[in-house]
A = this chain, B = another copy of it.
Amino acid sequence: MEKKTLHIVKVGGHIIDHPDILSGFLNQFASVPGNKILVHGGGKLATRLAAELNIPQLMVDGRRITDKDTLNIVVMVYAGLINKQVVAQLQGKGCGAIGLCGADAGIIRARKRTHASLDFGFVGDVEWIDAPALEEMLERGLSPVIAPITHDGQGQLLNTNADTIAQEMAKALSARFHTVLIYSFEKAGVLLDTEDERSVVPSLNRGTYNTLKETGKIFAGMIPKLDNAFQALEAGVGRVVIGPAEQLPELIAGSIGTSIIP
């Protein structure tokens, strides 16, 4: 039996931070036919709320050190405000959205990160995804909207990278679906010159990627995303595309952005 297609769309912080852009993006997401999952990042709201509450924020290599107060903030903002606003908007656009964090129905189990020299606090790395639980929701016509908060199965919530969640979900669901993983953000795709949106690399295989990486031509911030993308392909994901959230249909069609190929 041919596998059905499942689109897993990660949408980044910049889009989340701009209500008009977000609304346009959600219109396009609601129109994607068939099985789909939306994984959203956090945006700047958590940082702003922490500042208003005088909770100092520490970032190391772009990762938020998550003490107890900061965990409460990201749970409130990611799994609360952003997730529920996105779900309500999608419902208003006729999409059967259901907002979930990793603790809900136990869909994403994570392990608190340990590091030799640095205490990340309540940061979790994905251990496993409950693929059957997600499959059942998809079969019922629901579209999961995933906040980047997980749990350790012992009662503790954890802050987890949204790109990684999207990748792990795509991998876990590849046995059952032809999964298309879409990293959508504010850029036109993988750029050779970060200042020039026309310098998009239309497709990237492992060999070209390694060469570009070695010669310093890939923007450092893209490297974890691309490493994730290649890992996902190697683990059975059908297709990975990176590109602009504002042109989701074209991105899904593969006519814009950067297609990551084996």
Contacts and interface: CB of A to CB of B under 8 A. Distances in A.
Copy number in the complex reads 2
A91 B151 contact: yes
B79 A75 contact: no
A155 B86 CA distance: 8
A257 B48 CA distance: 45
Most chain B CB within a 10 A radius of its CB, from A76, A78, A89, A136:
A76
Contacts of A105: 96-98, 142
A31 interface: no
A64 to B, nearest CB: 17
Interface string A205-248: 00000000000000000000000000000000000000000000
Interface centre among A81, A96, A153 (most CB of B within 10 A): A81
A78 B77 CA distance: 11
A180 interface: no
Contacts of A99: 100-101, 103-104
Interface residues of A, number: 39
Contact of A104 (B72, B80, B97): B97
A18 interface: no
A157 B88 contact: yes
B84 A157 contact: yes
B84 A79 contact: yes
Nearest to A54: B52
Given A84-B104, A92-B156, A97-B105, 18 more contacts: A52-B53, A72-B81, A75-B81, A75-B84, A76-B76, A76-B81, A79-B84, A80-B83, A84-B103, A84-B149, A89-B155, A91-B106, A91-B151, A92-B155, A93-B155, A99-B104, A100-B104, A105-B142
25 contacts: A52-B53, A72-B81, A75-B80, A79-B79, A79-B83, A80-B80, A80-B81, A80-B83, A80-B84, A84-B101, A84-B103, A84-B149, A87-B101, A87-B104, A87-B151, A91-B106, A91-B151, A92-B154, A93-B155, A97-B103, A97-B104, A97-B105, A98-B100, A99-B101, A99-B103
